[in-house]
A and B are shown apart, each in its own frame.
Chain A
Amino acid sequence: MMLQAAKRIASRSLTGQQRRLFAVSSQLLNISATSATVIDPSTNTATSTTSAAPWTSIDKFTNDLKFIQKQETLQAYRVMDHTGTVLNPEHDPNLSKDEVHKCYKGMVMLHTMDGILYEVQRQGRISFYMTHYGEEAMIGSAAALSPHDVVFGQYREAFMLVYRGFTIDEFVNQCFSNDLDYGKGRQMPVHYGSKRLNFQTISSPLGTQIPQAAGAAYALKMSGADACTLCFFGEGAASEGDFHAGLNMAATLRSPVIFFCRNNGFAISTPSAEQYKGDGIASRGIGYGIDTIRVDGNDIWAIYNATKAAREIAIKQQKPVLIEAMTYRIGHHSTSDDSTKYRDRKEVEERAQFDNPVTRLRRYLEQKNWWSQEEEDAYRKQVKKDVLASLSAAEKRKKPAIKQLFTDVYDELTPNLVEQQKELEELIKKYPEYYSLDEHVSS
């Protein structure tokens, strides 16, 4: 009916030439349609004659002119409430005391290290820092992975490295860009990477790691490894084109990757209300044909269970999974940001106090009588001492050798780099007073 009406309107208003083209295109439609369907001229409805043309099936159509509006908000999966009480015992992952201690100690260690390195930046001893305040429970994702799983991060995921055994020294050396930094002092602080721990080196451009994680997962699938990739990103980064590219590619190419979104409500100063109009990031996963779940990002066990199940889906069914963890960025975006300029300090304090992921796990521990105030005090004291020791050791070390400026651009120095390295060496010889050679190791 609609088509006939359209034709009537068209034939009234179109010029002769346009009408001819319209007739040709209608004819083309009929030609392609007759190969699989019979057109009933009285109703203009198509009846499928073969099963090979599902788009002609009558149940794909409706007579209602109805736009799809906002659908029901996805609920966040939660295992324990803010008092550390498990709501449904069947969902308690029941990790051993040692395993829970590992998670809790990791969270406290990260929190303590964050506090000290933040201050160290404020004193100008390192150039930059980013804390993890409020997002420490994400360590649950680390506990649910195998060490063989390859991790791609954004920058606020040091919990993964903590869990996998990156040492305080290793963190601090990177932040101080000294000669022990694996990155040879080339990247800004908190751009960690560890080949040993299967943690791909962080880079600043947002979202770039998302299609990369899809590609790496495809490679793992090809080589038959019992492993997946896990890719972290914030809700702000999910607005990048690379998010779209990565999720769509992973879905169509069946890459075993867990996309893990840390939705902490802010991308620097931009609240998520200015970031998207849909139901967060999770609602998009469904559109890509990806199994999706939203979880309480301050609940370590919700994160643990979701990641564990996601890993199983990813590897066994060879397809991607999306997890959106709802949390709140308690700290400033970075040391270059003062978040009181764009949000209420009181709101931040309330969130930190009443819905703190570290406190929540501590209460869980206390309910099991697995942790005491004495242990807490002793552990915090120990970590503080360890971080400070690393700090003073790291600060005393020299910067990497100057030649490292030129290496690793390519696998081997190219002729232009050899020439430029020589040029710099000659300059340094000529004007030694303008260069601080003593700050660097000699080779």
Chain B
Amino acid sequence: MLSLRKAISACSPYISQRGYAATAQQAMDGIQQGVAHSKLLKRDPEEAFRSPELAHMSASNIETRKMNLFQAVNDALSIALTTDDKAVVFGEDVSFGGVFRATSGLAEQFGRDRVFNTPLTEQGIAGFAVGMAAVGHTAIAEIQFADYIFPAFDQLVNEAAKYRYRSGNQFNVGGLTIRAPSSAVGHGGHYHSQSPEAFFAHCPGLKIVTPRSPIQAKGLLLASIRDRNPVIFFEPKILYRAAVEEVPTTDYELPLGKAEVLKKGTDVTVVGYGNQIYTLENAIQLAEKRLPGISCELIDLRTILPWDVETVVESVKKTGRLVIAHEAPKTAGVGAEVTSTVMEHCFLNLEAPIQRVCGWDTPFPLVFEKYYMPTMIRCFDAIKKAVEY
């Protein structure tokens, strides 16, 4: 093994010098980029409760623990299994802890009947989950990468989403939650990088949720598991280890269908979700530095279906400008939906064309990732176009 590795590195002496997108970002324009430098993460216990949604908990002096995103997911799953005897967690390789460690320790703690491996079949996993939920159980299934959710598309779109409607509410699969690691990771290529949320956003009956941080992941996942509708929960895999917060150890939920205004502003509304929030945070820093006097409002959509039209529309009515960014390709992406809805509601308020900063309309590429992504500079440029129009 060692000699094989040596032989390979001898063939490619430059391999270790290649800069993949996941490696440390350079500071441009004095801006420390990425989640590691984000001011949005709650790094001390008091900060953890500094949002209207969590403020009520701080009064009871609740503990927090430093967790990264996979640990927060693990904590949420552990609470879900503890508080609901009918809850199970399953998928490919979840039993030993999962390829991203999100399920570690759960099989040992809750037993192999409740936390188990399945054969390698995404349509089977989704169908099995639909069946469990159809008889009133809580099925928390994992698809190893969001890129591999497509074999389950039929079960999710034709079955899970329509189960309540088609039976006249005699049956439902409200207890169903599908978790899937999604989005770019620096070197994931075609099939370890995709953001397939828009495919599902076109499907009435499903809810689609994506968190930006450990606190958000725990609260939104618990809400998704307990919501009485089937939910697909996309976890930005690049944040599993990179995003670290002081997370309340107690059982708490964050509301589905509600966006969160992360930064108040007056001149341009900037909307995103998942890991894109940190890129937008940096783009806003750059914009406010380079275009003195402007102030940007940053909104994390959090729930993609059904999304919070009211919060976004209210913001755009105030600012008159909108930039929306996501990693997924532009054409028919979530940005298109947000754009046309805002246009319908804010036609008289808009002072510039709505800017969409997205992945290009290509498959997700390997070596071109940095050029593909809606990076800080692309988001900054869109903000600039919007305010200078």
Residues of A within 8 A of B (CB): 20-21, 24, 28, 150, 152, 181-184, 186-187, 191, 193-195, 200-201, 203, 205, 208, 210-220, 222-223, 229, 241-242, 244-246, 248-249, 252-253, 407-411, 414-416
* B348 lies within 8 A of chain A by Cβ: no
CA of A241 to CA of B135, assembled, Å: 23
Question: A residues within 8 A CB of B257?
Answer: 414-415
* B12 lies within 8 A of chain A by Cβ: no
Residues of B within 8 A of A (CB): 1, 3-4, 7, 86, 88, 113-114, 116, 118-119, 121, 123-124, 126-137, 139, 151, 154-155, 158-159, 162-172, 174, 204-205, 207, 228-229, 257, 306, 309-310
The reply to whether A24 and B4 contact each other, CB–CB distance below 8 Å, is yes
The reply to whether A212 and B124 contact each other, CB–CB distance below 8 Å, is no
Which single member of A24, A223, A408 contacts B168 (CB below 8 Å)? A408
The reply to whether B205 and A409 contact each other, CB–CB distance below 8 Å, is yes
Question: B residues within 8 A CB of A246?
Answer: 124, 127-128
The reply to whether B123 and A408 contact each other, CB–CB distance below 8 Å, is no
The reply to whether B167 and A215 contact each other, CB–CB distance below 8 Å, is no
The reply to whether B174 and A411 contact each other, CB–CB distance below 8 Å, is yes
* Given contact pairs A20-B7, A193-B170, A415 touches B204 in the complex (Cβ within 8 A): no
The reply to whether B3 and A201 contact each other, CB–CB distance below 8 Å, is no
For the complex formed, measure the closest distance between the CB of B55 and the CB atoms of chain A, giving whole angstroms: 25
For the complex formed, measure the closest distance between the CB of A288 and the CB atoms of chain B, giving whole angstroms: 10
Question: B residues within 8 A CB of A203?
Answer: 158-159, 162, 166
CA of A416 to CA of B305, assembled, Å: 10
The reply to whether B123 and A242 contact each other, CB–CB distance below 8 Å, is yes
The reply to whether B118 and A194 contact each other, CB–CB distance below 8 Å, is no
Which single member of B121, B135, B159, B166 contacts A183 (CB below 8 Å)? B166
Most chain A beta-carbon contacts within 10 A, residue among B7, B123, B306: B123
A-B contact pairs, 27 of them (CB 8 A): A150-B135, A183-B166, A184-B168, A184-B169, A186-B166, A187-B166, A193-B170, A200-B167, A208-B155, A208-B159, A211-B131, A212-B134, A214-B124, A215-B127, A215-B129, A216-B134, A219-B137, A222-B114, A222-B137, A229-B131, A246-B128, A249-B128, A408-B164, A410-B164, A410-B229, A411-B229, A416-B306
CA of A203 to CA of B171, assembled, Å: 12
Which single member of A201, A220, A242 contacts B124 (CB below 8 Å)? A242
The reply to whether A211 and B127 contact each other, CB–CB distance below 8 Å, is yes
Question: B residues within 8 A CB of A24?
Answer: 3-4, 7
For the complex formed, measure the closest distance between the CB of B96 and the CB atoms of chain A, giving whole angstroms: 16
- 3 closest A-B pairs by beta carbon, nearest first, are A215-B131, A211-B127, A245-B124
Question: B residues within 8 A CB of A152?
Answer: 131
* Given contact pairs A203-B162, A219-B135, A411-B229, A181 touches B155 in the complex (Cβ within 8 A): no
* Given contact pairs A205-B159, A223-B86, A410-B229, A182 touches B170 in the complex (Cβ within 8 A): yes
Question: A residues within 8 A CB of B118?
Answer: 249, 252-253
The reply to whether A253 and B171 contact each other, CB–CB distance below 8 Å, is no
Question: A residues within 8 A CB of B155?
Answer: 208, 211, 242
The reply to whether B309 and A416 contact each other, CB–CB distance below 8 Å, is yes
Most chain B beta-carbon contacts within 10 A, residue among A152, A215, A217: A215
CA of A229 to CA of B136, assembled, Å: 14
The reply to whether A193 and B172 contact each other, CB–CB distance below 8 Å, is no
For the complex formed, measure the closest distance between the CB of A423 and the CB atoms of chain B, giving whole angstroms: 11
Most chain A beta-carbon contacts within 10 A, residue among B88, B137, B139: B137
Question: A residues within 8 A CB of B158?
Answer: 203, 205, 208
Q: B139 — nearest CB in chain A belongs to which residue?
A: A215
The reply to whether B132 and A219 contact each other, CB–CB distance below 8 Å, is yes
The reply to whether B128 and A211 contact each other, CB–CB distance below 8 Å, is yes
For the complex formed, measure the closest distance between the CB of A20 and the CB atoms of chain B, giving whole angstroms: 7
Which single member of A28, A181, A210, A253 contacts B127 (CB below 8 Å)? A210
For the complex formed, measure the closest distance between the CB of A334 and the CB atoms of chain B, giving whole angstroms: 18
Which single member of B1, B126, B133, B167 contacts A193 (CB below 8 Å)? B167
CA of A294 to CA of B385, assembled, Å: 70
Question: B residues within 8 A CB of A242?
Answer: 123-124, 127, 154-155
The reply to whether B205 and A410 contact each other, CB–CB distance below 8 Å, is yes
For the complex formed, measure the closest distance between the CB of A62 and the CB atoms of chain B, giving whole angstroms: 28
The reply to whether B170 and A201 contact each other, CB–CB distance below 8 Å, is yes
CA of A222 to CA of B166, assembled, Å: 27
The reply to whether B204 and A409 contact each other, CB–CB distance below 8 Å, is yes
The reply to whether B310 and A415 contact each other, CB–CB distance below 8 Å, is yes
The reply to whether A212 and B128 contact each other, CB–CB distance below 8 Å, is yes
Question: B residues within 8 A CB of A219?
Answer: 86, 131-132, 135-137
Question: B residues within 8 A CB of A220?
Answer: 135
The reply to whether A215 and B4 contact each other, CB–CB distance below 8 Å, is no
The reply to whether A201 and B7 contact each other, CB–CB distance below 8 Å, is no
The reply to whether A182 and B116 contact each other, CB–CB distance below 8 Å, is no
Question: B residues within 8 A CB of A191?
Answer: 166
CA of A222 to CA of B162, assembled, Å: 26
Which single member of A194, A245, A407, A414 contacts B306 (CB below 8 Å)? A414
Question: A residues within 8 A CB of B163?
Answer: 201
For the complex formed, measure the closest distance between the CB of B234 and the CB atoms of chain A, giving whole angstroms: 19
Q: B307 — nearest CB in chain A belongs to which residue?
A: A416
For the complex formed, measure the closest distance between the CB of B89 and the CB atoms of chain A, giving whole angstroms: 13
* Given contact pairs A150-B135, A200-B134, A212 touches B127 in the complex (Cβ within 8 A): yes
17 extra A-B contacts, CB within 8 A, seeds A200-B167, A222-B137, A410-B164:
A21-B7, A208-B159, A211-B123, A211-B155, A212-B131, A216-B135, A218-B88, A222-B88, A222-B113, A223-B137, A241-B151, A242-B127, A246-B127, A249-B118, A253-B128, A409-B204, A415-B306
CA of A396 to CA of B175, assembled, Å: 38
Q: A202 — nearest CB in chain B belongs to which residue?
A: B166
The reply to whether A201 and B310 contact each other, CB–CB distance below 8 Å, is no
The reply to whether B131 and A244 contact each other, CB–CB distance below 8 Å, is no
CA of A242 to CA of B127, assembled, Å: 8
The reply to whether B128 and A215 contact each other, CB–CB distance below 8 Å, is yes
Which single member of A150, A201, A241 contacts B123 (CB below 8 Å)? A241
For the complex formed, measure the closest distance between the CB of B255 and the CB atoms of chain A, giving whole angstroms: 13
For the complex formed, measure the closest distance between the CB of B202 and the CB atoms of chain A, giving whole angstroms: 13
The reply to whether A218 and B86 contact each other, CB–CB distance below 8 Å, is no
CA of A392 to CA of B204, assembled, Å: 35
Q: A210 — nearest CB in chain B belongs to which residue?
A: B127
For the complex formed, measure the closest distance between the CB of A184 and the CB atoms of chain B, giving whole angstroms: 4
CA of A195 to CA of B228, assembled, Å: 18
Question: B residues within 8 A CB of A414?
Answer: 257, 306
Which single member of A187, A210, A229, A411 contacts B164 (CB below 8 Å)? A411
The reply to whether B121 and A253 contact each other, CB–CB distance below 8 Å, is no
Most chain B beta-carbon contacts within 10 A, residue among A28, A184, A249: A249
